[in-house]
Structure 1
Amino acid sequence: DASKAEYYTKKNERRRLAINNVLWNEEAGMWFDFSLTQNRSRKNFYVSNIFPLFAGCGHQDDNLSKHQLSAVTSYIKDNKLEFSGGIPTSLHHTGQQWDFPNAWPPLQHVWIVGLANAATPSLTNIAFTNAQKWVRSVYLGWERTRVIFEKNVKNC
């Protein structure tokens, strides 16, 4: 159905533009949550910041896309988002289960696949390295306890 395909293609493009217009922060080089009450980006790191790459919602324009992917690579390196056991859900030390040092398996998947989908050598390498760290961390937890935890703690 060509008309339905065109309809959904246009909706997809509008969604992609909206995601980038609202969530992309050029200064930081990352997508961030947007606070409706404060009318601004919330420049906190969460693994979910990478969801636009996971969902294929980066810029379609090749020049913008290359710039965006380069900025994301810089953001990851500049913020030292390298941890021994996988990427923590956030960098906040609140004591809550969804914050540092905890790492949640579905978000590991989003992080790894999102970065790998970018298909740039630097982000693919980060994805591969994080996949290895995550699997190693889960394995070590299993070896020590014979339990696989819902969230991996203390290995980040």
Structure 2
Amino acid sequence: MAMVTLWPQHAAAQATVYRCPGNVYTSSADISAKEADAKGCKPLEGAPITVIQGQRPRAGNPVPAASGTRPADAKVDPAQQRARDGDARRILESELKKEEEKLAQLQKEYNNGEPERRGDERNYQKYLDRTAEMKAAITRKESDIAAIKRELAKLPPS
């Protein structure tokens, strides 16, 4: 982090600017030539210097600590949390039931890899493509059901 000393515009024309080790810049108003030489600072001559001021944190708004805890006033009432958990459980159980019904329908239609041929499937490749899509859909449904069951397992018992 570079430390820059700011000075008024009229003093900038008269002051010598030094570049010290660690990219620290200072002016002759802050340091004498002898001190600059002792610290290993080199004078900058003829080079324009751009000074960019950073924003300082406001004293009234301290940066919150990243402790991961919430303030005491933001805690949820245990009864309200149980109600939320119960709602979440009911929603997940209904989703699980719907997905299991869809899976059963897909498996019935798939017929162990030999679904009924449709009239528009005179080309055997179309039939094979539809069969592969059905198998992929069954795999996705099984994955969805497993995910819902994992979410249900995370909830406290009702």
| TM-score normalised by L of structure 1 | 0.23
Larger radius of gyration: 2
Q: Which has the higher contact order (CA 8 A, sep 6+)?
A: 1
